[in-house]
Amino acid sequence: MSLFDKKISELHELLHTKEMKVSELVDASFSRIQQVDEKVKAFLTLNEEGAREQAKLLDSKMGTDEMRGLLFGLPIGVKDNISTKGLRTTNGSQLLANFEPVYDATVVQKLNEAETVTIGKLNMDEFAMGSSNENSGFFQTRNPWNTDYVPGGSSGGSAASVAAGEVFFSLGSDTGGSIRQPAAFCGVVGLKPTYGRVSRFGLTAFASSLDQIGPITNTVEDNAFLLQAIAGHDKMDSTSANVDKQDYTAALTGDVKGLKIAVPKEYIGEGVDEEVKNRIMEALKVLEGMGAEWEEVSLPHSKYGVATYYLLASSEASSNLARFDGVRYGVRTENADNLLELYNHTRSEGFGDEVKRRIMLGTFALSSGFYDAYYKKAQKVRTLIKNDFDQVFEKYDVILGPTTPTTAFKVGEKTDDPLTMYANDILTIPVNLAGVPAISVPCGLSNGLPVGLQIIGKAFDESTIYRVAHAYEQATDHHQNKPEL
């Protein structure tokens, strides 16, 4: 059994009984990266020197009272839009190819307090804009299940690194499905927490009203451990919710008897692959056999989700990305004679096509004469989408459906058709617009590629999501399927 097939709780036991050192885990992680990352290309920057120094320090604490926490000594990968002090953070963009932050994001501080070991920064679609990782400004990450296929995006590197056994868990960010979609494509567990549950301080803003940092892991239990470490109110983030943190592991009872599940007809209707639909129906039978009840419902405004999302997210991106001008940090053009040329050439040379496309769309939607027709109307539709969820949650505990309409697609298959690429997020986007939590867990294979089951919960009720996901995971063996690289 590989070390990377073990759960966090099992590794914790090995470290506490001194059967293994932290430095051995770190060595195993870098050894695996050296072995497979040429094929997967999950990492943009490795922290080899820093990780080995940290491992030595933690080795010296083993067997003492200073050794604390379930995550002690475990190697983690961090998405490259999350600030890490002194460790290059590029956002997958050539514009920030030389950028080293002077502070840690709050989630990184929390992981440092839990004494994890940061192995490196993970590849992503540039500024988190993409559904396939083909928009990275450096190189494409590949799906460990079949390297001819995409890993999903924008957190493709985060999901691929866990699926490939390079790290035990990783952090991603989810603006319209960017944790759940790659988790589904790569056959791992990915959670988008409730908006405000996890601090966004130190996360490069794409769409500030939608972005959330979340954990990607091999199992639901591991996911709950990681959320336990990173969740909580943060005075550095004005959108951080001051709510009590739950004990997420207490929800992992395996019992779903009497639970009421809603299945939106829009999530299993036209456009959803037949094999994907079959895996979802099989999952419902498993949960039904455990005592849960399910009924078909409707989320009628979901069909407007993609258009609403791309107007709102692009508008916020247009504003947020205005700060990248070549003046204060990042790469600066050498072809400018005055300030306006500096702005123009730096952004033209530094941003990729997809980022430029969204900045232009957002700027248009916010411009005089079009604001009411597009941006304001999209905000109204967002409220309707949220109301749909609120009404369903009055009667049901969770909403269940596929994470994505299809399994992973081939590299290059959709790059020339942005609208088809955008539609790939149709089942994940409404969750971000409503601000509620959702998790993707493996629920089988279709033509050798993983299928994701999406479980959506009420705001700040991650515990119920974990309860359902864990019960399903324990009743099946889909999470034990691993790619052969």
Catalytic residues: 79, 154, 178
Three-state DSSP state, 51:
helix
Q: What is the rounded distance in angstroms from the CA atom of residue 370 to the CA atom of residue 158? A: 37
Give the relative orientation of helices 48-59 and 22-40 as an angle to the nearest 10 degrees: 160
Three-state DSSP state, 25:
helix
Burial of residue 242 (number of CB atoms within 10 Å: 0-12, 13-18, 19+): exposed
Stated as kind and residue range, the H or E segment containing 444 is strand 438-446
Beta strands in 212-253 (DSSP E): 212-217
Q: What is the rounded distance in angstroms from the CA atom of residue 51 to the CA atom of residue 27? A: 10
* CA distances to 182, 200, 456 from 439, in Å: 12, 19, 7
Q: What is the rounded distance in angstroms from the CA atom of residue 258 to the CA atom of residue 88? A: 49
Q: What is the rounded distance in angstroms from the CA atom of residue 267 to the CA atom of residue 431? A: 12
The answer to whether 144 and 485 are in contact (CB under 8 A) is yes
Burial of residue 184 (number of CB atoms within 10 Å: 0-12, 13-18, 19+): buried
User: Residue type for 215, please?
Assistant: P
* CA distances to 105, 107, 479 from 448, in Å: 37, 35, 14
In sequence order, what DSSP letters do the residues of 254-268 get, joined into one string? Answer: S--TT-EEEEEGGGS
